[in-house]
Structure 1
Amino acid sequence: MRRLMIADDSAVICKVAKRILTGLDYLVVEASNAGEAMIMCDAELPEVLLVDSGMTGALDLISAVRQMEGGKDVQIHYLMIEKEFKQMMIGKRAGADGFLLKPFDRRTLTEAFAPYAAAA
């Protein structure tokens, strides 16, 4: 079972994502802010990290994870509310591998993450 962390200050987004991704056989942990996510990453890096672009400290979190031992192997997705090229490039420079638009649904998350869950 792959470990996935959702770092988002929206309890609703976390709840929806956790329900869907747990069904895809991920072990899902939640962080409600970047500081909490850093503490959790220091304890154990997830294999997949979803980071809300609107959360204070999001870019610092991504950069810090990339600098940790094993951090280059973490698959990081930047969660955005709209496709904005400038914001996507900022996330990419910080170290994001991919982008997801919020709010997401079961189909979106299944298409993005089911292939990786099965490979674990």
Structure 2
Amino acid sequence: MIRLLVVDENDASRQSAATILKPFGFDVQMADNPLTALAACGNEMPRAMIVDGRLGSALELIVSIRAMPQGRTVRILYALDKADLRRLMEAKAAGADDFVLKPFEQKGLAQALADLKLEARQAFAVS
């Protein structure tokens, strides 16, 4: 299974992402703040992360993840409630790979994680 970490203060958002992604074979882990996310990454780096752009230190979290050993291998998605070019550029400069819109929808997450879904399905089929 492909490990994915959802970092969002909102429990409903974390649960929504998990509900959408688990059927695709993702092992969805959750963190409600950046410190918990950093601890989770220190234990085992996820293959992908979804970071809520409304977190007060979302950009600092992304920079910190990128600075960690294996931090460059993580696919980081920056979650926003609306497309905002300035915020997207800031996230990209911090190290985010792509963005997704909130509230989470299957189509948006599927597009952003398409190659990882294929990887997860292949791993799931082999198991």
Q: TM-score, normalised by structure 1?
A: 0.95
Aligned to 2:125: none
Aligned to 2:68: 68
Q: Secondary structure at the match of 2:113?
A: helix
12-21 vs 100-109, greater mean Cα deviation: 100-109
Looking at structure 2, the residues matched to 112 and 72 of structure 1 have their Cα atoms a distance apart, in angstroms, of 17
Aligned to 1:47: 47
Looking at structure 2, the residues matched to 86 and 49 of structure 1 have their Cα atoms a distance apart, in angstroms, of 21
Aligned to 1:90: 90
Looking at structure 1, the residues matched to 20 and 108 of structure 2 have their Cα atoms a distance apart, in angstroms, of 10
Aligned to 1:17: 17
Aligned to 2:30: 30
> Any gaps of 5 or more consecutive residues in structure 1?
none
> Any gaps of 5 or more consecutive residues in structure 2?
121-127
Structure 1 segments (4+ residues) deviating >6 Å: none
Q: Secondary structure at the match of 1:12?
A: helix
Looking at structure 1, the residues matched to 56 and 36 of structure 2 have their Cα atoms a distance apart, in angstroms, of 12
Looking at structure 2, the residues matched to 117 and 83 of structure 1 have their Cα atoms a distance apart, in angstroms, of 24
Looking at structure 1, the residues matched to 111 and 60 of structure 2 have their Cα atoms a distance apart, in angstroms, of 28
Are 1:81 and 2:85 an aligned pair?
no
After TM superposition, give the deviation of residue 39 of structure 1 in Å. Answer: 0.8
Q: Secondary structure at the match of 1:96?
A: coil
Percentage of matched positions with identical amino acids? 34
State the number of aligned residues: 120
Considering only aligned residues, what root-mean-square deviation do their CA atoms show, in Å?
1.1
After TM superposition, give the deviation of residue 98 of structure 1 in Å. Answer: 0.2
Looking at structure 1, the residues matched to 25 and 113 of structure 2 have their Cα atoms a distance apart, in angstroms, of 10
After TM superposition, give the deviation of residue 56 of structure 1 in Å. Answer: 1.8
Looking at structure 1, the residues matched to 84 and 38 of structure 2 have their Cα atoms a distance apart, in angstroms, of 26
